Amino acid sequence: MRVVTIIILLFLCKTADLRKTRNGSFRNKANNGKASRLRKASSTVKRYAPGLPCDIYTYLHEKYLDCQERKLMFVSPSWPEDLKHMLLARNRIRKLKNNMFSKYKLLKSLDLQQNEIGKIESEAFFGLSKLTTLLLQHNQIKILSEEVFIYMPFLSYLRLYDNPWHCTCDLETLITMLQLPANRNLGNYAKCALPTELKDQKLKQIKIEHLCSEEERLHPKSIVKKPKIAKPEFDSSLCHIYVFPVQTLDCKRKELKKVPGNIPPDIVKLDMSNNKIKQLQAKEFEDISELKILNLSGNGIVYIDPAAFSGLINLEELDLSNNSLQNFEYGVLEDLYFLKLLWLRENPWRCDYNIHYLFYWLRHHYSVHYNGLECKMPEEYKGWSVGKYIRSYYEECPKDKLPVYPETDKEDEEWERHKEQSVQTIKKHGVIVTVIG
Ligand SMILES: *[C@@H]1O[C@H](CO)[C@@H](O)[C@H](O)[C@H]1NC(C)=O
Ligand SMILES: *[C@@H]1O[C@H](CO)[C@@H](O)[C@H](O)[C@H]1NC(C)=O
Ligand SMILES: *[C@@H]1O[C@H](CO)[C@@H](O)[C@H](O)[C@H]1NC(C)=O
């Protein structure tokens, strides 16, 4: 009797499921059958912004973004944060990058079907703590780890079919997850494309023990779950790796005199505070381009090569407090496109012409928050903010002789030119003459 009941229940679930995706068009679980009504309701659709090709509308008190079939390759940072449903089907998105949706914390459903997604980074869905429905069918995903789903505790409806799944050891965690009884609505109908002996088998039904060979089981290092630590130069006994909440390499207080080589490339946070690194050489961090937080506090750094931070295009926080920095050479900050926070406290900033680069870079990048930019030397400016020193520097000159740093946008071009051409600056009687040549 019990068995029969269970079978009937399963059957009902399955048909309900089928109904939901009858013809591949998006239908939120909760909104079963409302699509046509939605379309009618769209006479009240409001354009989000002139020239922006996506529709934003509210239906039953929930905000929708309809950006289907717009040749999109990226998610726009300018969509409203209170979206509940995001329809991005039939675009050209290839890669889901870490934190790509983290702004959209209220999102309940995300439709990414029929794109060209081949790679999903491990924190691509970070912040989607309310998401219940995720549609990824008809893409190019071969491998995916269970890890990407940990940020979506309420995910109850997941579509993965029509992706060329490579059913190898790398897929073990995902398949194990899909086969849990509680995950009945996750990943139905998805099938292996490779290897040939598993072709067309459903992920839901594969026997896990067929995935990993004996060899891989005995040496599970090759499984993606573990961070790749085994690199020759990098001394993993000295620094510790943490995986959650973000990939972190903790090297604080290790008496390091240099930045260690071969840091694992997926490190997001690197703490090298309180070591003895006196200088930063060119390209010290080139191979860890995922890095977002770098702590170099308390090292006694006296010199930073202008190319030291090259390649750190994702860096958001940089702590240089408690060092021996007097200024930044021209160029030091140029690669840090996404910098948000910069700690400069407790450095012996010297207020002379060499501090201007740092000050003006910060002024031109007003989204960067910083602290501790205070003159410590020479004696006459001690305790002044660097901004005050720079104002006084110009007050000494008659206004019409101020050739540098006007307030307008032209200034950005000026800076660009500074970068490209060789620039000599000569200080003459407190007036800067810029010689471009
Ligand atoms: C998809 O389903 C909707 C609603 O059931 C229907 O109106 C539409 O014609 C179907 N489209 C296709 C391509 O079958
Ligand atoms: C950097 O490290 C120092 C000392 O360990 C700590 O006090 C500071 O908060 C850290 N900075 C950041 C941004 O985490
Ligand atoms: C500053 O750095 C030194 C090491 O260079 C350390 O001993 C000291 O505790 C640090 N001070 C603070 C406030 O973090």
Asked whether 128 and 151 are in contact (CB, 8 A), the reply is yes
Q: Whose CA is nearest to atom 8 of ligand 3?
A: 298
Residues 6+ away with beta carbon under 8 Å from 402:
394
Cα-to-centroid distance, 348 and ligand 3 (Å): 14
Burial state string for 109-123 with b = 16 or more CB within 10 A and e = fewer than 16: bbbbbbbebbebbbb
Specify the DSSP class assigned to residue 268.
-
Architecture of domain 240-395: Alpha-Beta Horseshoe (3.80)
Q: Determine the pLDDT at residue 19.
A: 38
Strand (E) or helix (H) holding 341: strand 341-343
What local confidence, expressed as pLDDT, does residue 361 receive?
Answer: 86
Domain ranges across the chain: 37-222, 240-395
Residues 40, 41, 42, 45, Cα dihedral to 10°: 160
Angle subtended at Cα 70 by Cα 66 and Cα 71, rounded to the nearest 5 degrees: 140
Distance CA 215, CA 220 (A): 8
Q: What is the pLDDT of residues 302-314, one digit of tens each?
A: 999 989 998 888 9
Rounded to whole angstroms, the Cα distance separating 247 from 419 reads: 34
Q: What's the rounded Cα separation, in Å, for the pair 101 and 382?
A: 45
- What tens digit of pLDDT does each residue of 105-138 get? 999 999 999 999 999 998 899 999 899 999 999 9
Predicted local confidence at residue 300, as pLDDT:
93
Tell whether ligand 3 has an atom less than 6 A from the beta carbon of residue 273: no
The answer to whether residues 373 and 362 touch, using CB atoms and an 8 Å cutoff, is yes
Smallest-distance ligand from the CA of 345? 3
Which whole-number Å values give the CA distances from 309 to 296, 331, 387, in the listed order? 12, 10, 25
* Model confidence, pTM: 0.44
Using the mean position of ligand 3's atoms as its centre, give its distance from the Cα of residue 245 in Å: 26
Low-confidence ranges of the chain (pLDDT < 70): 1-52, 213-237, 396-437
Up-side HSE of residue 283: CA atoms within 13 Å toward CB? 3
Protein residue with its CA nearest to atom 1 in ligand 1: 23
CATH number for the 37-222 domain, one of 3.40.50.970, 3.40.50.720, 3.80.10.10, 2.60.40.3500? 3.80.10.10
Task: Report helix, strand or coil for 8.
Answer: helix
pLDDT given at position 228: 36
pLDDT at 391: 84
Q: Which ligand is nearest to the CA of 323?
A: 3
Pick the atom of ligand 2 nearest to 343's CA.
Answer: 13
